[in-house]
Homo-oligomer: A and B are copies of this chain.
Amino acid sequence: MLRTHFVKEITPDLDGKPVTLAGWVHNVRDLGGKKFILLRDKSGIGQVVVEKSSPPFELAKELSQESVIQVQGIVKSDRRAPNGVEVSCTDLKILSKAKSPLPLDVSDKVKADIEVRLKERLLDLRRQEMQAMIRIQSTAVKTFREVLYKNGFYEIFTPKIIATGTEGGAQLFPVIYFGKEAFLAQSPQLYKELLASAVERVFEIAPAWRAEESDTPYHLAEFVSMDVEMAFADYNDVMNVVEEIMVNVLQNVAKHNQEDLAILGHRLPSISRPIKRVTYREALEILQSQGLNVKFGDDIGTPESRILNKVLEQDIYFIIDWPASARPFYTRRKEGDNNISESFDLIYRWLELVSGSSRNNTREVLESELRARGLNPVSFEFFLKWFDYGIPPHAGFGMGLQRFMLMLTGLQSVKEVSLFPRDKKRLVP
């Protein structure tokens, strides 16, 4: 057995007991002829002391940062040590020696820029901030699924290699599929609609791809898409699901990741149900009242959302009822007001986190919506044919995990919260 305890399990009440630890050398200091090793493992960082007179002292001199070691020792309660306890080393083994100097300082004494961090990502991911991020992400996706299970949703896995583009064909990565051209799915949109038309309530957390040419803090070529689709439901029903997810994720992260939030120096946004719902038209009026020259049909982008965030005094809010022409062909128009659609975006401050809508469920309407967008229904027959087989009214939404993580960590770029980000210039590591 490589260890008996994680470092955070070493408490003063183990005083005098022998233990075996294993982990990375976070740092080594010399003090009064002793070596103090900060040993890092999954649980955190603990202190090991190697006395000058002890047999492992010679080997301890060779230790480099990030080397992996196994330590046998005796627990010593000591008020001066971090957590009031340290381990006095009786035996030391180097399991993997790290070269020195390393290109990035895991202990964060020397800050590295984002390019170096992503190049040397393994070292970067060992930094406390990144470990906190990974733990918060694990809580977030776990909670997302729990809310959906509780509401009777089934997990699905849709195909990622597809014959044609979902919403036109722009920004797709081509794949050579047994000699034929195919593409990577930019969204599970059409498949999740079909599956909701078979088992009613479905969700998926999976990669999705967009060949983004531009380099922004909010876009990745490969991202994790969290998708939900629900039959016999409209956009109000799925906004309720979004609310339940948001409230539960924020609660669970606050509860289970307190230390991680402290490491990141991040305060979660406050949330209460119902989340403020402002219509697109109301949003326009607010913006006009603030002196902006915006009219029906214009997009509400980042600069406009910054103003809404301020005026509404809400960090998390829905903008609903967007112009029909601004949304994809599968979006249902609102009864009684044909220019707008049953659609919503959830905004965190000024960042779109979630986008959803009621969907069209008849072939005729879908064909007319395709034509209205200059698309040829014939090219969409692979999708339209299913609407001859009985498709219930349905609604759904998609959210990008990495953007969601910006809200949960306070970090600034989706590249930081993607373990190994992919963008136009980055294909390794």
Contacts and interface: CB of A to CB of B under 8 A. Distances in A.
B195 A428 contact: no
Chain multiplicity (copies): 2
Contact of A393 (B2, B131, B152, B420): B2
The A contact surface, by secondary structure, is mixed
A31 interface: no
Contacts of A420: 158-159, 191
Given A66-B389, A125-B195, A158-B420, 14 more contacts: A41-B232, A96-B390, A96-B391, A96-B393, A122-B198, A125-B194, A138-B149, A138-B154, A157-B207, A158-B419, A161-B222, A161-B422, A163-B427, A180-B427
Interface in A149-174: 149, 152, 154-163, 173-174
A262 interface: no
Contact of A176 (B123, B131, B173, B424): B173
A232 B43 CA distance: 13
14 contacts: A2-B232, A24-B392, A68-B361, A68-B391, A95-B392, A138-B149, A157-B418, A159-B222, A161-B184, A161-B221, A173-B176, A178-B221, A207-B207, A382-B428
Contacts of A102: 389
B134 A199 contact: yes
Contacts of A263: none
Contacts of A174: 175-176
Interface of A: 2-3, 22-25, 41-42, 66-68, 95-99, 102, 121-123, 125-126, 130-131, 134-135, 137-138, 141-142, 145, 149, 152, 154-163, 173-178, 180, 182, 184, 191, 194-195, 197-201, 206-207, 209, 211, 221-222, 224, 231-233, 361-362, 382, 386-393, 401, 418-422, 424, 427-429
